[in-house]
Homo-oligomer: A and B are copies of this chain.
Amino acid sequence: MYTIGKLSKNTGVTVRTLDYYDEIGLIKPSSKTSGGHRLYSEDDVMRLERVLALKYMGFSLEQIKDILENSTSNWLESIQQQLELVKREQERLKMLEQALLGVSYSIEFEGEINWPIIFSMIKLYQQDPGDVLEKYKEYLNEDEMKKIVDMSVENMSEEDIQAWLRVVGDIRNNLHLDPNSEKAEQLVLSWADQADKMFGNDEELLGNMWEALQNLQEGIAFYPMNKDVIDFIKCVALAKGGQTHDS
């Protein structure tokens, strides 16, 4: 027989919690002293342990009461419902993590809060990515849209993301460079390399994407490229001679 304090110490559950479980009829002490102090038996301890196990599994106290009371209740079903719930929650968190990562990248790059980009990020991972890429429909066909969606942060390797952020970031930090300079050319070449690597040899896609970027100049696809970067790349390409291999 344990007093509520001893039980609390043994199980790590606070007295208030045991108080509450008594109050809602989840764990009622099987006896009391003449003075009214609660005494918990070994059976009560067992019940508490079961309650804690079920709580860990994510059931509500109401559900736990139901499960422990109704021996007719279908355990397997309850567990598997929880499993489904946990899986869905994991999916949600994965999306959330990607969105947060995206926002984090965006803040690092912009140096300030770019709300439209943040909204796009969230939408992108929240529901229909097609919605976010709406604006590109004019320039890209179905297949190309799909390809880009599949290629979004979600499915790119961490290295590719880093590399892409780096090459674009390098350009953004050096927009003041003379388009004729050696350095500028090198930056653009690095960028072209990475673009090639990521978009493969699909010249048509690259072309359409380039056109879309030139006209829309900002957006979630190909983030963090923006108008300035595009203009810079164009300038450098032009400076290098009429023959541009980018557009």
Chain A interface (Cβ < 8 Å from any Cβ of B): 46, 49-50, 53, 56-58, 75-76, 79-80, 82-83, 86-87, 89-90, 93-94, 96-97, 99-101, 103-104, 107-108, 113, 115, 118-119, 122, 126
Q: Given the complex, which residues of B lie within 8 Å of A57, measured CB to CB?
A: 96, 99-100, 103, 122
Give the shortest distance, in Å, between A146 (CB) and chain B (any CB).
25
New A-B contacts (18) at CB < 8 Å, excluding given A79-B107, A90-B90: A49-B115, A53-B115, A53-B118, A56-B96, A56-B126, A58-B96, A75-B107, A79-B100, A80-B104, A83-B100, A83-B101, A83-B104, A86-B93, A86-B96, A87-B97, A90-B93, A90-B94, A90-B97
- Given that A76-B104, A119-B53 are known contacts, is A97 also in contact with B113, CB under 8 Å in the complex? no
Q: Given the complex, which residues of B lie within 8 Å of A86, measured CB to CB?
A: 93, 96-97, 100
- Enumerate the 9 nearest inter-chain pairs by beta-carbon distance, A residue then B residue, closest first: A83-B100, A79-B104, A90-B93, A86-B97, A76-B107, A75-B107, A86-B93, A56-B122, A86-B96
Q: Given the complex, which residues of B lie within 8 Å of A119, measured CB to CB?
A: 49, 53
Q: Is the contact region of chain A dominated by helix, strand, or loop, or is it mixed?
A: helix
- Given that A89-B93, A93-B93, A113-B75 are known contacts, is A82 also in contact with B56, CB under 8 Å in the complex? no
Q: How far is the CA of A82 from the CA of B57 in the complex (A)?
A: 24
Q: Please state if A103 and B90 are interface contacts (CB–CB under 8 Å).
A: no
Q: Please state if A108 and B56 are interface contacts (CB–CB under 8 Å).
A: no
Q: Given the complex, which residues of B lie within 8 Å of A100, measured CB to CB?
A: 57, 79, 82-83, 86
